[in-house]
């Protein structure tokens, strides 16, 4: 690995440890990722973003630390440092192996994380989902929170950006009016919040490690809905192990689409394409 002076110097300031070498890491959609080899022998990942929104990296670090509080919960990278311009995490060495046993363990770990709960719906500070702000001010119920903090803000942004038609938007609005009768009453779960397969890394230790959270207290079916939306190797094993450890409410499979509306609207805002139409089609099932 060569040494990128600017990244190395900033990492050394934050870590108090010399950086021996650096190398670029491909695959990041938002931040620039750099692999660091430290004089201690440890390998780390540094994520940077010029002109990052205020609190961007601090929110990621706070989410990782909050989720990591759960004993026996989902594996997460250790936060080594966080600042307004970057975050530095312990490196996760990935593997091409995807053993079924790891999926079972992950289902159990995700159940423990959710069961650890949250003080309320939302969080004591706002966050981010991708580059978009993620409002986390609490509400009186999950139905209210999901409506006013998740569906309606991104529906408005999608309409403003021309990413959803009026008819599809009307279908989503109709669902909002029925949320109190559609979602079961459960206490807030400790959510990862952006749990798609790209944020699930199969490690060389044969465990599934989770990165890039958009964490908050919410309904646990949200994380499961996102896993189903974008897929995960051995997902049925994950869900079976989860359900055994922390049984799901009756009808949860029928509500997957309901809780997929949020990520679909986020994707419509960020990428356009067919996501707005998919949200409208799914919403129509519940009206």
On whether the CB atoms of residues 66 and 58 are closer than 8 A, the answer is no
CB–CB of 59/124 below 8 Å? no
Q: Is 124 a catalytic residue?
A: no
| 56 Rama sector, left if φ>0, alpha if ψ -120 to 50, beta otherwise | alpha
Beta-bridged to residue 33, according to DSSP, are 25, 47
Give the C-alpha separation, 196 to 36, whole Å: 26
d(CA 287, CA 282): 10
What is the rounded distance in angstroms from the CA atom of residue 190 to the CA atom of residue 271? 27
Roughly what angle, to the nearest 10 degrees, separates helices 221-230 and 256-271? 60
Q: How far, in Å, CA of 221 to CA of 185, rounded? A: 12
| Distance (Å) of CA 171 to CA 166, 255, 261, 265, 267 | 9, 16, 11, 13, 17
Query: Do 19 and 8 touch, CB atoms closer than 8 A?
Result: yes
Q: Is the dihedral of CA 129, 209, 70, 187 positive or negative?
A: positive
Question: Own/partner pairs for 55-58, CB < 8 Å, 24+ apart?
Answer: 55/84, 55/125, 55/126, 55/128, 56/84, 56/128, 57/82, 57/83, 57/84, 57/85, 57/86, 57/87, 58/82, 58/83, 58/84
Alpha carbon distance 159, 19 (integer Å): 46
Catalytic residue among 168, 194, 212, 223: 194
Which residues are identified as catalytic? 194
């Amino acid at each position: 690995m060569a040494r990128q002076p600017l990244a190395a110097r900033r990492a050394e300031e934050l870590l108090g440890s010399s950086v021996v070498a650096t190398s670029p890491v491909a695959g990041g959609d938002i931040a620039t990722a750099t692999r660091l080899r430290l004089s201690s022998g440890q390998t780390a990942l540094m994520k940077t973003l010029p002109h990052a929104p205020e609190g961007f990296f601090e929110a990621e670090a706070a989410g990782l630390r909050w989720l990591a509080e759960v004993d026996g919960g989902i594996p997460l990278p250790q936060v080594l440092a966080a600042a307004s311009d970057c975050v530095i995490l312990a490196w996760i060495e990935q593997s091409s192996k995807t053993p079924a046993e790891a999926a079972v363990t992950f289902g159990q770990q995700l159940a423990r994380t959710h069961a650890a709960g949250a003080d309320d719906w939302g969080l004591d500070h706002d966050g981010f989902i991708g580059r978009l702000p993620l409002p986390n001010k609490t509400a009186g119920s999950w139905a209210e929170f999901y409506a006013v903090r998740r569906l309606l803000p991104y529906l408005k942004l999608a309409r403003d950006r021309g990413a959803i038609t009026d008819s599809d938007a009307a279908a989503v609005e109709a669902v909002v009016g029925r949320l109190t009768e559609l979602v079961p009453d459960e206490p807030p779960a400790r959510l990862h919040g952006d749990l798609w397969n790209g944020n699930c890394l199969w490690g060389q230790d044969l465990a599934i490690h989770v990165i890039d959270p958009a964490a908050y207290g919410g309904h646990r079916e949200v994380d499961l809905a996102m896993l189903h939306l974008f897929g995960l190797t051995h997902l049925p094993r994950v869900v079976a192990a989860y359900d055994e450890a922390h049984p799901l409410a009756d009808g949860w499979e029928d509500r997957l689409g309901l809780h997929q509306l949020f990520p679909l609207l986020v994707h419509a805002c960020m990428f356009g394409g067919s996501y707005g139409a998919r949200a409208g089609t799914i919403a129509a099932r519940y009206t």
